[in-house]
Chain A
Amino acid sequence: MSNNKIFGINGPVVTVADTKDFSMQEMVYVGREKLVGEVISIDDKLTTIQVYEVTTGLTPSEPVEGTGSAISVTLGPGIIKNIYDGIQRPLREIAEKTGEFIERGCFAPGIDEHTLWDVTVTAKVGDELCGGEVYATCPETESIIHKIMVPPGISGKVTFAAADDHYTVNTKILEITDKSGKVHELTLCHKWPIRTARPIKKRLPCTVPLITGQRVIDTLMPVAKGGTAAIPGGFGTGKTMTQHQLAKWCDADIIIYVGCGERGNEMTQVLDEFGELIDPRTGRKLTDRTVLIANTSNMPVAAREASIYTGITLAEYYRDMGYAVAMMADSTSRWAEALREISGRLEEMPAEEGFPAYLPSRLAAFYERAGRVTTLGSDEGSVTVIGAVSPQGSDFSEPVTQNTKRFTRVFWALDKSLAYARHYPAINWTDSYSEYDGDLADYYNNNVNLSFMDYRRQLLSLLHEESKLMEIVKLIGADVLPDDQRLVIDIARVIRVGFLQQNAYHKDDTYVPLEKQFLMMKTILHLYEKGKALVASGKPVAGIARSGILEKLIKMKYDIPNGSPEMFDDYITEIDSVINELMAK
């Protein structure tokens, strides 16, 4: 029992004077109520601790106890379906203990210690195992098999293996004796420090897209499995909505959704909605593959800073089992603001806009934990990170947006004017980009259609041409444009309204398979080609608009159900007959 006492208190920052007992990033218990904290700086006079809970009422002379280990999460079966706060405290259990309002100093283990898991032990006595290799499995939810791995850093010969049975997470399953003769007892779970990336064998190139069913993303700005994407946008542009859509429909095996400093009601909505929705690929509930981390904006700011790391550590753990994991962080700006707040309390010298000078390196270190890898257990897994950014004053030149842009490879810029016109997803097609288009070209061409990337290029160039033409239209109106340019404007409108705009509340349109996306593209471009022929033959282009075919194409996203690709043939035939009629006039 040490006799370290609190010396100073300033918001979430607590100092201890004249001690040499603590190490950097060590987890500590502060005060009589044992509030969780983390050591963030040490000098010969003061040791500084950030406390993950409200510090009201703390007094100097209350004890501070070290735990000897860094702040970590418990990894084992029981994580999925859970909802945690920023330092892996299960909110449901907390609610049972303390009621509707979160009381401080409340403790509950990150994974339930009483649940019995149906464990199949795959390792046998005499096997040589090293860190990351699987020694047991158990079904965690109806769609996810949990693989229990030797913690990285431990290897040796199995000297005891339990029989297949039902076990709780803290039961001894395996004993490994390493080269030095030390015996490691392994249970179903182990701890891992959240600020340390879990080791891997090798990084792999990102050549498989994360299919989201959102046309503007899959077709125009795709993100790869293991890639990184940023969604910056002012308030009301639909960041959270886009994140929800991705969490619902993307084809990852596991979703880690981190609500970092956002609204409480939004987390409640995710809980409600995901409990009802069915994953189209597994036929199970979406919650069966989802972990929520909710550190809402009014919960303690230091825990908000930790929530991102808790999320990515859970993501890496499931990646190590060979799963494709997607992590949504909403919003990384709040995380950066938490950094700024703590930095301000420490009276550090600020860089841009009060943010600490280490903001870029922290962001880089976070996004670099994404990737598609060969795991230590020689499986293939990936962590895709999609971070929302909330730029102050919708100004994309602010430090968090700019630095995020440096370290992510996909940039989905949300646009206020699109959102005002209720064009969702409000991803601006001229400011956004994906650097994965080259890496993913082969996948699209081989798995969807050989013309996919070519059509995509045509679509983009039509949109760019339109935005140039619109400059002129804004000045003099559309009537004076020559026919070939009016055709571009008409077709681009079909692309914008009929293709890019997508209705998250429509049963078919909320998720659109790649094949339908391709056929929609093909149909629109078919009309463009036919239109060009019409213009070339000197007939007026206005006939196309009058025929109503444009409106018909705009509504094809609703009129053609997802499973009926053959219906597109009728549209092609109709386009041909409309154009032939106009030609004949």
Chain B
Amino acid sequence: MIKEYIGLNEIAGSLAVLDGVKNPGYEEVVEFNVADGTKRKGRIIRIDGERVVVQVFEGTKGLSLKNTSTVPTGRPMELKLSEEILGRVFDGAGRPIDGFGEIYPEVLRDINGSSINPVSRVYPRNYIATGISSIDALSTLIRGQKLPIFSGYGMKHNELAVQIVRQAKITGASSDNFAVVFAAMGVKNDVADYFRRSFEESGVLSKVVMFLNLSDDPIIERTITPRCALTAAEYLAFEKGMHILVVMTDMSSYCEALREFSSSKGEIPGRKGYPGYLYSDLASLYERAGMIKGKEGSVTQIPILTMPNDDITHPVPDLTGYITEGQIVLDRSLDSTGIYPPVSILPSLSRLMKDGIGEGYTREDHSSLANQLFSAYAKVQDAISLASVIGEDELSDIDKKYLEFGRAFENRFINQGANENRSIEETLDLGWEILTLLPESELDRVSDELIEKYYRR
């Protein structure tokens, strides 16, 4: 028996309150029939006896206490899934918006997902060649990893993400079983369009599932967009055996939507007004990356977030960094000197890299070389700060060598073309070549055999 409740009892921000609801389910989806003939969807987020608080995805604009009737669906928020979703475009709540009609569902999945049992996970070890030196050599992307890009407004994170998607070679993936799930949250129309065009140009568009919540779309819908995208990704990966790269941009907008929603509920805020559960909420997204024992596919996540004011200690990048397995940080000063991709080497890190590189994966010198480059580049920063005080001429010889090394490293190693696809051997050899600018006595992280084999060549 379908019940319909006429009218609402209270409207505040994006929330509607109803009294007298019989047997509501927590997080159940409800449908609103508005007098003007439109339909909206909402989700029950709080129950006190027969009084329920509903979060309206499309916003409460135009709703009144009289003109709306509410129908509970008895189901949690679900996404319709089948292999047909490849190549399709959906809105932020998972409804098709490309004009090709509804999806005929093979399965329905709760968009909140369930947590993967830690004993069923496979520890990720296979590296993904992206063809980008700064990533492959120094913060290697691993299949099943979640590796965010920390950027700022106006920097080239979108270009970098597109290049990764275009060049990424996942071990075990071919054109048949590789797909991209793209979730846009609060990004501008032209950014979404840029991604679409780039996917089209690189010929992967038929293998892309897009979920678009653009900056002028309802904010509350934004809080479910990444969940829809990850549900689609999990379905393709773990039921259809595909290797999925999930690009989610922009996580900062997502968090702001969450903040808006939280404050409209009157919750006690944590840092900078963000809700106290921001960590758990982000974790419920990021932890959906990974691989499962006995399953073919994998979910690799590349979330993109813009750091407000380039501040890495802002709650969004901070909490993200605590959950994800490393981060790729972009640097504004590199960007403004025209270096692309402007990857700031020192704060960038891939936690899974240590077990996915070296002999059998990339090359035996990879880990030592990466350590040596990190430590040498850290010394470059000391030399630069000293030079800014006493002038470059007054530096000791060794500091001057470090400055020279630093420049070569930035211009030749980090810097590369947006279409340049370097193999791992090229990247590592280039690293050694630039290290030869330093005297051998400065190499404290590499063994003598490696020096013999690569440095003295």
Contacts and interface: CB of A to CB of B under 8 A. Distances in A.
Interface of A: 7-11, 15, 17, 54-61, 83, 91-92, 94-95, 99-104, 234-236, 259, 261, 263-265, 267-269, 271-272, 294, 296-299, 301, 334, 337-338, 340-341, 344, 347, 350, 353-354, 390, 392-395, 416-417, 420-423, 473-479, 497, 505, 548, 551, 554-555, 558
A308 to B, nearest CB: 16
5 contacts: A54-B114, A296-B283, A344-B268, A354-B271, A421-B378
B441 A298 contact: no
B417 to A, nearest CB: 27
A60 B25 CA distance: 8
B118 A264 contact: yes
A146 B50 CA distance: 53
Interface stretch (B165-173, B246-254, B317-325): B317-325
A235 B49 contact: no
A272 B119 CA distance: 10
A59 B26 contact: yes
B318 A337 contact: no
Contacts of A265: 121, 123-124, 144-145, 290, 325, 352
B452 interface: no
B296 interface: no
A296 B444 contact: no
A420 B394 contact: no
A420 B347 contact: yes
Given A272-B123, A297-B287, A477-B390, A100 B117 contact: yes
A297 B116 contact: no
Contacts of B65: none
Nearest to A551: B441
Contacts of B375: 421-423
A173 B255 CA distance: 57
Contact of B444 (A60, A92, A272, A551): A551
B267 A344 contact: yes
Interface in B383-440: 385-386, 389-390, 394-396, 399
B295 interface: yes
Contacts of A272: 123
Contacts of B69: none
Contacts of B346: 420-421
A60 B120 contact: no
Contacts of B287: 263-264, 296-298
Given A101-B117, A294-B118, A392 B318 contact: yes
Interface string B32-53: 0000000000000111111000
A477 B394 contact: yes
Contact of A268 (B48, B118, B145, B378): B118
A377 B51 CA distance: 56
A346 B367 CA distance: 49
B342 interface: no
B283 A60 contact: no
Interface stretch (B2-10, B126-134, B274-282): B274-282
Contacts of B267: 344
Contact of B49 (A17, A94, A422): A17
A337 B280 contact: yes
A10 B46 contact: yes
A102 B49 CA distance: 29
B270 A55 contact: no
Contacts of A296: 115, 118, 283, 287
A341 B284 CA distance: 15
B453 interface: no
Nearest to A236: B349
Interface in B239-271: 267-271
B374 A83 contact: no
Query: Most B CB atoms within 10 A — which of A11, A268, A416, A497?
Result: A268
B87 interface: no
B76 A56 contact: yes
Given A101-B115, A259-B118, 10 more contacts: A7-B49, A9-B46, A10-B46, A236-B326, A267-B121, A347-B268, A354-B276, A392-B318, A393-B314, A505-B354
A109 to B, nearest CB: 17
B60 interface: no
B76 A91 contact: no
B386 A474 contact: yes
A261 B270 contact: no
Contacts of B275: 344
B110 to A, nearest CB: 7
Contacts of B110: 56
Contacts of B28: 57
B22 to A, nearest CB: 9
A95 B117 contact: yes
Contact count band on B: 35 or more
Interface in B74-130: 76, 110, 112-124
A420 B348 CA distance: 8
Query: Most B CB atoms within 10 A — which of A11, A299, A558?
Result: A299
Nearest to A7: B49
Contacts of A297: 279-280, 283-284, 286-287, 323
B441 A60 contact: no
- In the A-B complex, the 4 residue pairs with the smallest Cβ-Cβ separation, listed nearest first, are A297-B283, A393-B313, A235-B321, A421-B378
Given A236-B326, A341-B276, A392-B318, A422 B270 contact: no
Contacts of B367: 505
A296 B352 CA distance: 17
Nearest to A5: B49
A268 B122 contact: yes
A95 B314 CA distance: 37
A422 B371 contact: yes
Contacts of B46: 8-10
Contacts of A7: 48-49
A57 B78 CA distance: 12
Interface in B1-34: 23-28
Contacts of B151: none
Query: Most B CB atoms within 10 A — which of A235, A334, A354?
Result: A235
Contacts of B457: none
Query: Most B CB atoms within 10 A — which of A11, A56, A92, A267?
Result: A56
Given A261-B279, A337-B276, A394-B313, A354 B118 contact: no
B26 A56 contact: yes
B315 interface: yes
Contacts of B114: 54, 101-104
B302 to A, nearest CB: 16
A50 to B, nearest CB: 14
B225 interface: no
A266 to B, nearest CB: 8
Interface in B306-335: 313-315, 318-319, 321-323, 325-327
B292 interface: yes
Nearest to B24: A59
A301 B278 CA distance: 12
B375 to A, nearest CB: 5
Contact of B389 (A17, A94, A341, A475): A475
Given A100-B292, A269-B123, A297-B287, A340 B276 contact: yes
Contacts of A57: 25-28, 76
Given A8-B49, A236-B321, A390-B322, A301 B26 contact: no
A259 B314 CA distance: 25
Contacts of B269: 354
A353 B62 CA distance: 36
Contacts of B319: 392
B222 interface: no
Given A235-B318, A297-B287, A267 B441 contact: no
Contacts of B371: 422
B47 A301 contact: no
A575 B196 CA distance: 66
A474 B115 contact: no
Contact of A9 (B26, B120, B374): B26
Contacts of A479: 396
A100 B367 CA distance: 33
